[in-house]
Structure 1
Amino acid sequence: MSFSIPTFPQQRRIVTSTAGLVTLLLLFYSYYSYAWSHPKTNLQWIPTSTTPSLIPRKIWQVLLPMPGTVHAKGLADAQARSWLLMNPDHTFTRLSTDGAEDFLRQHYPETPAYLDTFRGLPNPALQSDFLRYLVLQAEGGVYTDLDTNALQPIGSWIPEEHRSRAKVLVGIEWDQRDEKDLWGIFAYPVQFQQWTLAATPHHPILEDLVHHVLDSFHNLTEFYNTPLDRLSLSDQEILMATGPGAWTGAVWRYMEKHGVTSLRQLSYLQKPTLVEDVLIYPVNAFASGQAHSGAARWFTPKEALMKHNFKGSWRVQS
Structure 2
Amino acid sequence: MAQPMELVPQPLYGGAIEIMLPKGYLDVSQLREIPDNQEVFVNNNDMEGGNKNGMDTGKNGGNESIIVELMERVDVKDGESAIKEHCKEIVEINYSNKQLSGSFDNSFEVIDVQVVASNRLICKVKQKNVGKWENDKEQVQELDLYIGLIRLVEYDADALITLNVPISALSKDVEETNSSKYTNLKMAKRKTINFRKLIMFLMIPTAIIFFLGYRFLKFSNSSDLQSLLQNLPKEITDSISLANSRQKENEEMFKKFEDLTKDLMEVNKKQNQQLADQKLVLQNKMNELREPPETATLREKLTWVYGYELKSKFPAYIWQTWPYSQYDDRMDVSLKKFYDNWHNKNPGFVHELINDDIMNLLVNHFYKAIPEVIETFNILPTQMLKADFFRFLILYAKGGTFADMDTDPIQPIPNWIPENVSPKEVGIIVNIEVDAQTKDWQEKYPRRLQFGTSVIQCKPRHPVIREVIATIIETTLKKRHDGEARMNLKEDMNIVKWTGSGSFTEILMKYFNDYIQSGILSKVTWKDFHNLEMPRLVGDVLVFPQFSFNAPRSFDNSDERKPLYFVSHERMKSWNGLDNIKNKNLEQKQEAAADAAADAAAEK
Which of 477, 492, 500 is equivalent to 1:235?
492
Unmatched runs of 5 consecutive residues or more in structure 1: 1-51, 66-71, 290-296
* 2:398 aligned with 1:139: yes
* 2:529 aligned with 1:266: yes
Question: Higher helix share goes to which structure?
Answer: 2
- 8 Å CA contact 2:430–2:456 kept in 1: the answer is yes
Match of 1:115 in 2: 374
Task: Measure the CA separation in 2 of the matches of 1:251 and 1:241.
Answer: 15
Superposition TM-score, scaled by structure 2 size: 0.39
The CA deviation string for residues 236-283 of structure 1, in whole angstroms up to 9 with x for no partner, is 111001001011112111112223431221101111100110000011
2:547 maps to a residue whose letter is N
Match of 1:306 in 2: 567
- Structure 1 residues 75 and 99, CA gap change in structure 2 (3 angstroms): farther
Match of 1:30 in 2: none
- Structure 1 residues 214 and 74, CA gap change in structure 2 (3 angstroms): farther
- 8 Å CA contact 1:141–1:200 kept in 2: the answer is yes
The CA deviation string for residues 186-216 of structure 1, in whole angstroms up to 9 with x for no partner, is 1122101111111001110001000110111
Identity %: 28
- 8 Å CA contact 1:175–1:268 kept in 2: the answer is yes
- Structure 1 residues 203 and 106, CA gap change in structure 2 (3 angstroms): same
Which of 457, 476, 482 is equivalent to 1:198?
457
- 8 Å CA contact 1:54–1:166 kept in 2: the answer is no
The CA deviation string for residues 30-51 of structure 1, in whole angstroms up to 9 with x for no partner, is xxxxxxxxxxxxxxxxxxxxxx
Deviation (angstroms), 1:176: 2.0
Listed as ranges, the matches of 1:139-178 within 5 Å are: 139-162=398-421, 163-177=423-437
Which range is displaced more, 214-223 or 271-280?
214-223
Task: Measure the CA separation in 2 of the matches of 1:264 and 1:73.
Answer: 39
The CA deviation string for residues 94-141 of structure 1, in whole angstroms up to 9 with x for no partner, is 111111122112211101222232222221211111000000000000
Match of 1:254 in 2: 511
> Over the residues paired in the alignment, what is the CA RMSD in angstroms?
2.5
- 8 Å CA contact 2:376–2:477 kept in 1: the answer is no
Task: Measure the CA separation in 1 of the matches of 2:315 and 2:404.
Answer: 18
Deviation (angstroms), 1:53: 8.2
Match of 1:69 in 2: none
Task: Measure the CA separation in 1 of the matches of 2:425 and 2:476.
Answer: 34
Task: Measure the CA separation in 2 of the matches of 1:216 and 1:133.
Answer: 15
- Structure 1 residues 250 and 183, CA gap change in structure 2 (3 angstroms): closer
- 8 Å CA contact 1:58–1:142 kept in 2: the answer is yes
Task: Measure the CA separation in 2 of the matches of 1:124 and 1:286.
Answer: 25
Residue correspondences, number: 250
Task: Measure the CA separation in 1 of the matches of 2:463 and 2:385.
Answer: 21
Task: Measure the CA separation in 2 of the matches of 1:236 and 1:189.
Answer: 13
1:149 maps to a residue whose letter is D
Task: Measure the CA separation in 2 of the matches of 1:117 and 1:64.
Answer: 20
Tell me which structure has the larger Cα radius of gyration. 2
- 8 Å CA contact 1:54–1:167 kept in 2: the answer is no
Q: Which secondary structure state, in structure 2, belongs to the residue aligned with residue 245 of structure 1?
A: helix
Match of 1:24 in 2: none
1:133 maps to a residue whose letter is F
- 8 Å CA contact 2:509–2:524 kept in 1: the answer is no
Which of 318, 322, 344 is equivalent to 1:63?
322
Task: Measure the CA separation in 2 of the matches of 1:53 and 1:218.
Answer: 34
Task: Measure the CA separation in 1 of the matches of 2:455 and 2:406.
Answer: 10
Task: Measure the CA separation in 2 of the matches of 1:273 and 1:164.
Answer: 15
Task: Measure the CA separation in 2 of the matches of 1:309 and 1:183.
Answer: 23
- Structure 1 residues 184 and 231, CA gap change in structure 2 (3 angstroms): closer
- 8 Å CA contact 1:64–1:128 kept in 2: the answer is no
- Structure 1 residues 133 and 174, CA gap change in structure 2 (3 angstroms): same
* 2:386 aligned with 1:127: yes
Match of 1:3 in 2: none
Deviation (angstroms), 1:231: 4.6
2:551 maps to a residue whose letter is S
Question: Higher strand share goes to which structure?
Answer: 2
Unmatched runs of 5 consecutive residues or more in structure 2: 1-310, 325-330, 515-519, 580-604
Which range is displaced more, 88-97 or 254-263?
254-263
Superposition TM-score, scaled by structure 1 size: 0.72
- Structure with the bigger RCO (C-alpha within 8 Å, sep 6+) is 1
- 8 Å CA contact 1:175–1:190 kept in 2: the answer is yes
Task: Measure the CA separation in 1 of the matches of 2:510 and 2:441.
Answer: 25
- 8 Å CA contact 1:53–1:155 kept in 2: the answer is no
Deviation (angstroms), 1:298: 7.0
Match of 1:68 in 2: none
